Chain A
Amino acid sequence: MAPPDRPATSAETAALLARTPAVIAPGHTFNSVTDTISHVVLSKRTPLGWFLGFAIAFGLLMVLNMTIGNLLLTGIGIWGNNVPVGWAFDIINFVWWIGIGHAGTLISAILLLFRQQWRTSINRFAEAMTLFAVACAAMFPLLHTGRPWLAIYWLFPYPSTMGVWPQFRSPLIWDVFAVSTYGTVSALFWFAGLVPDLATLRDRAKSGFAQRIYGMLALGWRGSAKHWQRYETAYLLLAGISTPLVLSVHSVVSFDFAVSVLPGWHATIFPPYFVAGAIYSGFAMVMTLAIPLRKFYGLEDFITMRHIHNMTKVMLVTGMIVAYGYANEAFFAWYSSAPYEEFMMYNRMTGPYAVFYWSLIAINAVMIQLFWFRSIRDNIPLLFILSLFVNIGMWLERFIIIVTSLHRDFLPSSWEMYYPTRWDFGMFAGTIGLFLALFFLFIRFLPAIAIFEMRTIVPEAKLHPTGHHPPGGGPALAEDHG
């Protein structure tokens, strides 16, 4: 039995909705919401822009294939990293992509637990973004092993013929478990959310082929009350499980650095600082994707200014935490009085890579202050450009952390510069291609916005609309609620 305060809670939610409108434009019904979103997928006409965008993404994807082909034939010597900078683009891009993925889980899980209704229209494609970003991320450490098919025994514990087992005290193994769990749980969460929408597509598809494909994927979902009850329970549980998971993943990623003894890496601030950075860059990517998506598919009614504003605010807050991290690093370099720490900071600020350091400060600490202004938050084209800059800024942050600490460590005789090669850039551009290509396919074949969740926020979904119902139902319901 539901607790007696249930109706009060939904009334409060309704009151909250009334005060902060525009999670969804007014005037929408079950039917119009379903129509608008499923039309994007079920329509026979594919917009020309889609082909154009997909062609570019596909071209970059081919660059990825070429790079990987050369990498496997020649070896990782084609990359620029070498002693002392043994980790470079492969780990920079890994951290960058994983970080981007984090916003998807934050939106789908943490905001669900906090009952933030504005998450509803952006969670589906943000989760898709997470999945694709994790796929791109996982490629880097795997290929950095040079011979991934031989490297499996370093990564996963299985009874290999050599009798060798992985080292469970190593953060790199923690990383394997964290990222593979994260990828799996994100996929489950995403698919679970899709099933009722796939059923909708099955019921609305005109062509027999589409009906069959969506029908199979929908698993025979029929919206039974008992099913919904278990479904909602499972969804809430998955959200509850994903919340500590997402925080743990980037913490574990930061352990790769923090557990070492290198100046600039060996810092206790790393886990929270990395998690905040991940959410910050992830929201920037959600914005980068959402702005063109709502424009080209006419989804402004669902992804409203409210969403844009809220995302900007989240970026402002997490960006400030990241800026605090920078300040903290500089402060501790000075306060520790450890010569290596001091030199690390001095080298970052004035060394050969100083221009990147100051660019990232300019973007992540200074530029984001623009988000305080409402006029900026209302300016969509500008926000799109700023979100691209945030993506760049967070990439530079990882570059600075990884390269400046490695290229000049304790012993000046082992100092060396790091320069990426064209294959480094090819691989990076290639994963962007993979990411975008997957995203283009996703918006064409699957509903980019959760239809059933959108239905729950239209006015029709309210159980007690005033004066809409035959009076007969009132007393029975009131009685039942106690």
Chain B
Amino acid sequence: MTQDREPGFDTLAIHAGAQPDAETGARITPIYQTTAFVFDDADHAASLFNLEAFGNIYGRIMNPTQAVLEERVAALEAGTAALAVASGHAAQLVVFHTLLEPGDEFIAARQLYGGSVNQFNHSFKKCDWRVVWADAGDPKSFEKAVSDKTKAIFVESLANPGGVVTDLEAVAKVAQSAGVPLIVDNTLASPYLCRPVEFGADIVVHSLTKFLGGHGNSLGGIIVDCGTFDWLASGRYPTLSEPSESYHGIRMAETFGDFGFAIAARVLALRDLGPCISPFNAFQILTGIETLPLRMQRHCDNALGVARWLEAHDKISWVNYAGLEGNSYYELAQKYCPKGAGSVFTFGVKGGFEAGIELVSSCELFSHLANIGDTRSLIIHPASTTHRQLTAEQLVSAGAGEDVVRVSVGIEDLDDIIGDLDQALAKA
């Protein structure tokens, strides 16, 4: 029964985590639209609550449709386990809630999705989790930011709004010297383009809403445990290495080995904070993931075509796409995402802010909305929307200055995508 051949990425995208239903033979994962699950008896119930037996108890904590999604993404990211939650923001909340105590510091790259910047500067600050900013383009800036309070490092592999590729290996070295886990938001790349675990990541997060789900229809987030950090040896993460009060004193990292972090995140943070994913959303996202390899390649091929066309256009002042040979992150893109540099990038229209707004308003194919990673091409002016709540200084640091237009290139016919920008630019 064992085959010598290890299933490839495309096969895992369809099959990992899923099996035909035992009772009906249904091939496709059912949508278990239920909040709770019946126990055999009181002993069975107690075993489940004590984490002695594997199984489903209550929808806030687990669900069988969600479990297939979790195993699928864990397999694609070559992780040991995963935990799906309501959104990418929720994934980040659950990760940090599991790792940090009030007063702890974490280092984060400035080149992040604006929503993460806000989360770190505002809501995390309220929990007294203190962000120390560093520069994704300068790994030494991470070294300088390390203090005896540092408990984690956070970066995006391919940074939003695009054009920046983080030197993951270099940052991973800093994390390793500092004895802290490296958390990588891999949303813009997806495991098809980049697997952060291969470069030293300990935890990977995604907004499933974006490329993994891929169709702009369902919110979700996921945390992947790479199984690489030794929580017991470190001793600085009591949630993982100390006796757990609400579980009769088991130590999560001891009882659950190399997937202890994922279990702790589920049975503690998710249990108590509650940002669970809906079974229906999990199903939608699962279906989307089946075509991830095909979609991502088309996204990247189209994006490169669009970027090249824009670069040559006389109304465009600059294009920031790491897949373009002249881009300062081109070399890193070849190393970390050799199949393609993603499909989210930015450019500047001559005429600045006003011309950018005019362009966005004149598109007839591109949808003007706040999202990325959809089959549909999307366009937005980050400074006035997704990155609006940042200061002017933060905007520039995040790559979302006043004149910046961001596109998420979809998988429509390239001629149609370019044609739309062409006619819109004529008006801008």
Instruction: Judge: A and B partners, yes or no.
Output: no
Measured CB to CB, the residues of B under 8 A from A are: none
